[in-house]
Structures are given as C-alpha cells and as structure tokens.
Amino acid sequence: MSKTPRMFPRNPMVNRKQQTQSDVTIKGASHSHWQDPYHLLLTLNWFWFFVAIAVFYLIINTVFALLYLAGGDCLENARPGSFADAFFFSVQTMASIGYGVMHPSTKYADIVVTIEALVGLMALAMSTGLMFARFALPTAKVLFSNVAVITPYNGVPTLMFRAANKRRNRILEAQVRVSLLRDEVTQEGEFMRRFYDLQLVRSQTPSFSLTWTIMHHIDENSPLYGATLESLIAVNSELVVTLTGLDETVSQTIHARHSYIESEILWNQRFVHIFSRNRHGGWLINYNHFHDVEGIGI
C-alpha cells in the first residue's frame, strides 16, 4: 500500500451532496420540477415552501378579485371598481371569515363565491396535507467526519471514517454501505463510471446511539489496494456512503448519505480520541474533536 500525503486542502464550504448532483447534466430527457409539483413542494426548504404557499395564495385571491371586478358592481358595500375591496372580499370568502360588511349582491357574484368556496376548501385540504407530509417525512440526523483516513489497524492498512447519531435516541438495526466510484475504460475502449462495494469490518449494528467508526481493510481483495492519492485523482474517485436504520422514536426507516472525494482521504493520519472518563467514572464523548486527525509515525 503506497502512502502519499494529502495534497489538496479541503474546502469546508463545499456541500458534497449538492456538488455530486449539480455535476450531472442530463441531455435528451426533458424534466421540469413543475411536472412533479408534489415532489418539488416536499423537497423545498421551509423558507421557500412558505414563500410558494404565500405566492399561490396571493395569485388565487387576485384571480378571484379580478372575476368580481369583471361582474361590475356585484359586491354590496364595496367601492365600485376597487381592486382592494374585491381582493379582501376574496380573502374573507376563501377563509370563510364572513364579516358581513361586504356580500354578494348579484347572481353572478353568488356563482363566483360558490366556486371560490369550493376552491378554498380544496386549497386548504392540499396545504394541510403537504404540511403534514413534510412533518411526517422521516429524517436522519447523522454526522459524518469531514475526512476519511487510511491508517494501520492491527498491522493492516485500513480506511476509516466516523459517524455519529446527533439525536438522543437510537437507530435500530443500522446498516452502512460504502462503495468506491471511479472512472474506467474497458478493453474495447468504452468509458464507464463503476461502483465497487467495499467489505467492511462491521457493516451493521443492532443499536446506533453514539458514534461508529466504519473500517475497511485494504488488502489484496480491496479495490483500494495499491492506490495512491494521484491514482485516485486520475480516475475521479469518490467514496459513497449510505446508512439506513429504524428510528426508534417514529418507527420509520431513515436514510443518510455522505461522500468523500480524493482530497478528503488522508494517508498516515488517525482520528483523535474522543472518549474519556468523567469524574464520576462514566464515559465522556467530546464531539469538539470529532473531525480532528493527527499524524502517525511511519
């Protein structure tokens, strides 16, 4: 196993998940987020989700306000031609507030109010369903170390990285899978991006509550055998990590993923110890040093 020092500093501002997705450009297969609005609204962050709901709310009330204006003087106690009065009457109708100050005065307005009441009920039901679906989505709070290291373990070069459960509960029947992704060219000259599964010292645990050091022995059967930093860079290597398990709190399967590019794999380094004894004799875990590494003697 060749030992090569780290050459490139890691940029802590890079989001590996976003970078992996944004590096892929699809051609010849049309896709738009607007073709799958349900998935879009579930995957938006909370800020943009509320922005989308607010924009939709304003648009639909604007449409009905214009419909009321198109009916002429059809709202009692509303100023003729006032968009503001028509808009706020639409808001009251959709929310079933019914102050009684403004009310329909023509059959046309009664029909528009009936349609808006139905639309309002459907919009409320869909908004409630989306909100519940977002809250009900199972999420994992798993922390992965910023880097992976290659260090001797019982005399064998071993790839290691850390994972930790950030929630104060247990992930039951947790399983982790690590794959090496790299470019290859076949004997026929065809390019492909291939996955190689790495055999782990321990790939599952019945209860994942604190920390977990995932290890892979780099022996003759390992895809990393004989690799160096330069050779990994040459084939655009990446370690892809997926972790699944059952969250004991919500009894749902959760998923977490992470990846390490070549410059995030450090040779001849080891993780700093984070376990110690407290003054009462119990175990103390110092997450302040969770990502820290130190050199080893060669």
pLDDT truncated to tens, each residue of the chain (298 aa)?
444 333 333 343 334 544 444 456 666 555 566 677 888 888 888 899 999 999 999 999 999 999 999 999 999 899 999 999 999 999 999 988 888 889 899 999 999 999 999 999 999 999 999 988 888 877 888 999 999 999 999 989 999 999 998 888 899 999 999 999 999 988 888 898 899 999 999 999 999 988 899 999 999 999 999 998 899 999 999 999 999 999 888 888 999 999 999 989 999 999 998 888 777 777 788 888 999 999 886 5
Burial class (CB in 10 A: 0-12, 13-18, 19+), 56: middle
Distance CA 48, CA 37 (A): 13
Architecture of domain 33-136: Orthogonal Bundle (1.10)
Distance CA 113, CA 68 (A): 9
DSSP per-residue codes, 207-241: EESSEEEEEEE-STTSTTTT--HHHHHHTT-EEEE
Q: Report H helices in the chain.
A: 16-22, 37-43, 46-70, 83-94, 107-136, 229-234
* Residue among 58, 126, 122 nearest 91 (CA): 58
Coil/strand/helix, residue 259? strand
Question: What is residue 167's DSSP assignment?
Answer: S
Distance CA 31, CA 41 (A): 16
Provide the b/e sequence for 270-282 (b: ≥16 CB within 10 Å): bbeebeeeeeeee
**CATH 1.10.287.70 residue spans of the chain:** 33-136
Q: Is the pTM of this model over 0.75?
A: no
The Cβ of residue 229 has, within 10 Å, a number of other Cβ atoms equal to: 21
Architecture of domain 139-295: Sandwich (2.60)
Coil/strand/helix, residue 292? coil
Burial class (CB in 10 A: 0-12, 13-18, 19+), 129: exposed
